[in-house]
Amino acid sequence: MPQSERRKDEHHSARAMRAELNEAQQETLAALERYGWSLKFIRHPLFQPSIPVVFDGDRKTFGVLEADGTLNEHPPFTIRHD
């Protein structure tokens, strides 16, 4: 029997996701949005800090917003493209 999908179908609003960011991450996101980047989702790994994931306007490049507000374009995971 196949495993059920763990991701929920709930679509979090941009406002709700932004509320999860700290001040440094919010400032970086605001600067990135001027160049077409957007916050797409936030990973919530068990027993670890949340990981906000942002994509560029072309959806070709992604990165994570670190706790100090820096953009990490080489995170230690990959994103599936369906």
Distance of CA 71 to the CA centre of its chain: 11
User: Going by C-beta distance under 8 Å and a sequence separation of 6 or more, which residues neighbour residue 40?
Assistant: 53, 54, 55, 62
- 9: confidence class by pLDDT, cuts 50, 70, 90: very low
For the chain, the domain total comes to 1
User: What pLDDT was estimated at residue 66?
Assistant: 96
**39 domain residue, yes or no:** yes
User: What pLDDT was estimated at residue 12?
Assistant: 63
On the question of pLDDT at 3 being above 70, the answer is no
**45 domain residue, yes or no:** yes
**9 domain residue, yes or no:** no
Per the structure, the complete domain to which residue 46 belongs is given by 14-72
**59 domain residue, yes or no:** yes
Summarised one tens digit per residue, pLDDT across range 31-82 is 999 999 999 999 999 999 999 999 998 888 899 999 999 999 998 887 776 5
On the question of pLDDT at 7 being above 60, the answer is no
> Measuring CA to CA, which residue among 78, 69, 39, 81 is closest to residue 57?
39
Q: What is the pTM of this model?
A: 0.79
**7 domain residue, yes or no:** no
**80 domain residue, yes or no:** no
User: Would you put residue 41 in left (φ > 0), alpha (ψ -120 to 50) or beta?
Assistant: beta
**79 domain residue, yes or no:** no
